Amino acid sequence: MNHSHTLIDSVLAGERRALARAISRIENETEDARVILSAIYSRVGRAYRVGITGPPGAGKSTLTNKLARHYRAQGKQVGIIAVDPTSPFTGGALLGDRIRMTDVEVDAGVFIRSMASRGSLGGLSRKAGEAADILDAGGMDIVLFETVGVGQSELDIAGAADTTVVVLVPESGDGIQAMKAGLMEIADFFVLNKADRPGADQAVMSIKMILGFRPHDATSWLADVLKTQASDGLGIDAVASEIERHRQYLLSSGGLETRRKARLRQRIRGIIDEELHEVFWNPQRASMLEARVASLATVGLTPYDVATELIGDFRKAVSPKSHV
Amino acid sequence: MNHSHTLIDSVLAGERRALARAISRIENETEDARVILSAIYSRVGRAYRVGITGPPGAGKSTLTNKLARHYRAQGKQVGIIAVDPTSPFTGGALLGDRIRMTDVEVDAGVFIRSMASRGSLGGLSRKAGEAADILDAGGMDIVLFETVGVGQSELDIAGAADTTVVVLVPESGDGIQAMKAGLMEIADFFVLNKADRPGADQAVMSIKMILGFRPHDATSWLADVLKTQASDGLGIDAVASEIERHRQYLLSSGGLETRRKARLRQRIRGIIDEELHEVFWNPQRASMLEARVASLATVGLTPYDVATELIGDFRKAVSPKSHV
C-alpha cells in the first residue's frame, strides 16, 4: 500500500518513470492498477484527448509525431498512446515501438507509450483510456491516441477521444470505402495525407460527397477534409487548428460533457463486464464448458442448452446466500 | 410454435425464402431464432466454411463471386454471407447489397445475404456463424463469408470459418502492414489480388518473408501467397485448390475438429455473455448507472465504486432465492 502511494504521488508529480510504471500495471491488469486509478481519479479531466486513426499505411505515426512537435513548440506537455492490435507471434506493442518514428521521443516533453491488446480487443480502448487518465493526472495537456493498423481498435478509439481524426491517403480508397469501414461515423474531421500523390483532389471530393449525406442542421458540426503532407510537415498547423476549433465547438455546444459522460458510462460498463466475466468463468465452470464441448457432438445438446445449464449454475453460485 | 415448425421444415428442405427468413430472425434477434437454431442443430456440420477477408478495396467481393461461380460449375450449392460494419446513417447491409457485384446473384444455386452488425460487433461473427448454420442445414456445400471493410469483423470472421483467406493488393501495404493489422495470424493463406499492378512481386516477397517468422515445424501448415486477377477470373482455380488442400490438411491433422470445437466454445461463451448482459442491464440498473454518471463529477465516486455498487445489486437480484 505504501508502495502504491509512493507511485501515486510520483504519477501526480508527472514523473516519467512513474507514469510508465503505472501504465504497465494497467496493461498487465495488476491488482493495484485499480487502486492507482481510483486514487488519481479526482485529478483527471484537464487533458484534451485526440484520436488519430485510419487504415494502415496512411501515415498516422508521422502525423501524430508532427502534431506532437507542434504542441511542444507551444510549450504543451504531450502524451502519445499507440494502440496496437494483438500480434501473438511477434508482440504487437514491441513491433509498434520498433518501427515507430523517433524524432519526438528524445524530447522530454513528449511521453510515448505503446499498448498491445493481449487478446481482449474490447478491453483495449478502456485500457488506453485509463492510460490517458494516468497521463492526464500527471499533467499532460494533450493526449494523442494513435491506432496501429486495422481492427476494432481503429473504431474503438473514438470512444476514448474527445476529437477523432481519421487519416486517409489517395490510395486508401474513396469515400465509399471509408464509409464501408465504419470510419465516416467516428470522424470529427478527415485528413487526407500524402496529398501530393495522384488522385488526392478526387479523394477529397469523394469524402466530402459522402459526408454530405450525414444528417445535419444549421448548428451541427460539419466534418471537413484537410490535406496534409505530414512527412514534410505540410498542413500540420491546420490540423491543430481544426482540433482546437472542434474543441471549442464541443465546449460551447455541451458536446464535450456529453462525450465524457458517454465515456464514463462505457467505462463503468466495461469494468462490470470484465468483473462478471471473471466471476462467471471460474475454473469449475470453465471445466464444465470443456466437458460439454468435448461431448456435444454425441449427446444431442445444442449450444443454447449448454449456455442455459452454465447460467443456472452461475445463478446458484452468485447468490449472497449461497455460502449459508 | 406451429409457425416456427413450418419454417424449420422449409429451412431443412433448403427453400431459399425460408433460409432468408430464418437468417432475418437471427439478425433481428427475435425470440424464435433460438428455437430454429436448436431445431436444426443436428443437421449442421456438412458445409465447409471459408472466410474471405482483407482491407477495403482489395477486391474481396469480386474474388468471392468468382469463387462462387467456380463452385457452381462443380455443381455445388453455395451460400455467401457478407458481413458489414454498422453504418448508422446509411445502413451498412443496405450499402453492402447495393454496391455488391451481381453476376452470381441470378444463379439459383447461390444464396447471397448481407448482415449488418447493428452496433454489437462482437455479436456479428456469432450471428454470421448462426446464419451459416442455417445455410448448412439447408444443404449448402460451401459457405463463403466475405467481410466488408475494416473493423473487427475482418478479424472476427476467422473464428467462424474453417479456412480463412486474406486478400491483399500491391497497394495495401507490405507484409509489415498486414502484420500490424493482425491479418498474419488469421490467414490460412494469402491472395495477392490485382497482381498485374506494379509492386505485386515485391508484395508477395514481403508477405512471404514475414510468414517465415511464424513458428512452424515439419508437420505444420505453411501459409502460401497466391496471385490472382479476380476481375479477369485469373487464379481462381488455384485459390479453390488451395482451399481444398487446406481442408484436407485440417481433416488429416485433426485441425478441423479442433477449430470447430473452438468455434462451439466461443459460441456458447457468446450466448452466455449476451444473456448475462441482458439480465444485468435491466431498466432499474440502467437507471442507476445513468444517475451515477450524471452525478459522478460532484460526489467523489470513481468508476470502480459505481461498478462495485451495481454488481452488488446484481448479486442480490440474481439469486434464485431473491423472490422468497
pLDDT, tens digit only, all 324 positions of chain B: 456 679 999 999 999 999 999 999 998 888 899 899 999 999 999 999 999 998 778 899 899 999 999 999 999 999 999 887 544 333 334 344 434 444 555 566 789 888 875 545 456 778 899 999 999 999 999 999 998 755 566 667 888 899 999 999 988 665 666 666 677 788 999 999 999 999 999 989 888 888 877 777 777 898 999 999 999 999 999 999 999 999 999 999 999 999 999 888 988 998 898 888 888 999 999 999 999 998 876 677 889 999 999 999 998 877 655 443
* Out of A41-50, A55-64, B43-52, B293-302, least confident range: B293-302
Three-state SS at B230: helix
Q: Which residue of B has its CA nearest to A312?
A: B320
**The predicted structure's pLDDT at residue B117:** 58
B238 and B188 part of one domain: yes
Cβ–Cβ gap A85/B182 under 8 Å: yes
Cβ–Cβ gap A38/B302 under 8 Å: yes
Residues of A in contact with B92 (CB under 8 A): 180, 182
**The predicted structure's pLDDT at residue B92:** 37
Mean pLDDT for chain A? 83
DSSP for B58-116, please give it.
S-HHHHHHHHHHHHHHTT--EEEEEEE---TTT-HHHHHHHTS--TTTT-TTEEEEEEE
| Helix (H), strand (E), coil (C) string for A260-314 | HHHHHHHHHHHHHHHHHHHHHCCHHHHHHHHHHHHHHHHHCCCHHHHHHHHHHHH
A210 and A285 part of one domain: no
- Give how far B180 is from chain A: nearest CA, Å: 5
- Give how far B285 is from chain A: nearest CA, Å: 11
B156 and B290 part of one domain: no
> Hey, what amino acid is at B38?
S
pTM score, whole prediction:
0.72
Cβ–Cβ gap B182/A315 under 8 Å: no
A227-253 pLDDT tens trace: 999 999 999 999 999 999 999 999 999
* Residue at A21 is within a domain: no
Number of other residues whose CB lies within 10 A of the CB of residue A165:
28
What count of residues does chain B have? 324
A171 and A246 part of one domain: yes
CA B217 to CA A135: how far, in whole Å?
A: 44
- Cell triple for residue B200? 505485386
CA A20 to CA A113: how far, in whole Å?
A: 8
- Give how far A73 is from chain B: nearest CA, Å: 31
**The predicted structure's pLDDT at residue B175:** 61
**The predicted structure's pLDDT at residue A174:** 56
If you search the block for the grid coordinates 460449375, which residue do you land on? B73
Average pLDDT over residues A176-193: 80
A320, pLDDT greater than 90: no
DSSP for B241-275, please give it.
HHHHHHHHHHHHHTHHHHHHHHHHHHHHHHHHHHH
DSSP state of B192: E
B145 and B289 part of one domain: no
Contact B53, B141 (CB under 8 A): no
Q: Nearest Cα to A132, choosing from A122, A119, A145?
A: A145
Residue from B180, B277, B287 whose CB has the most chain A CBs within 10 Å, to mutate: B180
* Burial bucket for residue B245 (CB in 10 Å: 0-12, 13-18, 19+): middle
- Cell triple for residue B167? 486478400
**The predicted structure's pLDDT at residue A97:** 40
**The predicted structure's pLDDT at residue A318:** 73
Assess: ipTM above 0.85: no
**The predicted structure's pLDDT at residue A124:** 72
* Helices B31-40 and B2-12, axial angle in degrees (round to 10): 50
**The predicted structure's pLDDT at residue A324:** 37
**The predicted structure's pLDDT at residue A295:** 84
Residues of A in contact with B176 (CB under 8 A): 95, 99
Residue from A117, A157, A268, A314 whose CB has the most chain B CBs within 10 Å, to mutate: A268
- Cell triple for residue B302? 470513481
CA B95 to CA B107: how far, in whole Å?
A: 21
Range of the domain at B286: 281-318
CA A323 to CA A75: how far, in whole Å?
A: 58
DSSP state of B197: S
A258-290 pLDDT tens trace: 999 988 898 899 889 888 888 899 999 999 999
Three-state SS at B190: strand
CA B100 to CA B97: how far, in whole Å?
A: 5
Q: How many domains does chain A have?
A: 2
A139 and A246 part of one domain: yes
B90-100 pLDDT tens trace: 333 434 443 44
A13-39 pLDDT tens trace: 999 999 999 999 998 888 899 899 999
**The predicted structure's pLDDT at residue A114:** 84
Per-residue burial over A288-311, b = 16 or more CB atoms within 10 Å of its CB, e = otherwise: ebeebbeebeeeebbbbbbbebbb
CA B196 to CA B228: how far, in whole Å?
A: 8
* Burial bucket for residue B203 (CB in 10 Å: 0-12, 13-18, 19+): buried
Residue B220: φ, ψ to 5°: -75, 160
Residue B69, by phi and psi: left (phi above 0), alpha (psi -120 to 50) or beta?
Answer: alpha
Query: Rounded to whole angstroms, what are the CA distances from B33 to A69, A285, B283?
Result: 54, 26, 24
Contact A156, A144 (CB under 8 A): no
Q: Which residue of B has its CA nearest to A299?
A: B42
Residues of B in contact with A267 (CB under 8 A): 303
Q: Which residues contact B168 (CB under 8 A, 6 or more apart)?
A: B54, B55, B58, B178, B183, B190, B191, B192, B193, B203, B207
- Give how far B312 is from chain A: nearest CA, Å: 9
Q: Which residues contact A207 (CB under 8 A, 6 or more apart)?
A: A168, A174, A175, A178, A190, A192, A225
Cβ–Cβ gap B293/A265 under 8 Å: yes
Query: Rounded to whole angstroms, what are the CA distances from B164 to B133, B167, B237?
Result: 17, 10, 16
* Residue at B24 is within a domain: no
CA A154 to CA B148: how far, in whole Å?
A: 15
**The predicted structure's pLDDT at residue B94:** 39
**The predicted structure's pLDDT at residue B125:** 78
* Residue at A3 is within a domain: no
- Give how far B314 is from chain A: nearest CA, Å: 9
B236-268 pLDDT tens trace: 999 999 999 999 999 999 999 999 998 889 889
* Residue at A304 is within a domain: yes
* Residue at B59 is within a domain: yes
CATH number of the domain within which B228 lies: 3.40.50.300
Residue B250, by phi and psi: left (phi above 0), alpha (psi -120 to 50) or beta?
Answer: alpha
- Give how far B73 is from chain A: nearest CA, Å: 31
A287 and A152 part of one domain: no
B299 and B194 part of one domain: no
pLDDT band for position A180 (cuts 50, 70, 90)? low
Cβ–Cβ gap A57/B172 under 8 Å: yes
Number of other residues whose CB lies within 10 A of the CB of residue A210:
18
* Residue at B9 is within a domain: no
CA A282 to CA A264: how far, in whole Å?
A: 28
Q: Are strands B78-84 and A163-168 parallel, antiparallel or unpaired?
A: unpaired
Q: Which of A95, A180, A300 sits opposite B42 (nearest CB)?
A: A300
A244 and A291 part of one domain: no
Q: How many CA atoms lie within 13 A of A96 on its CB side?
A: 26
Q: Count of CB contacts below 8 A, A vs B?
A: 220
Q: Nearest Cα to B223, choosing from A89, A120, A8?
A: A89
A181 and A290 part of one domain: no
* Residue at A40 is within a domain: no
**The predicted structure's pLDDT at residue A175:** 61
> Hey, what amino acid is at B268?
I
* Residue at B30 is within a domain: no
A195 and A235 part of one domain: yes
Cβ–Cβ gap B304/A56 under 8 Å: no
B236 and B313 part of one domain: no
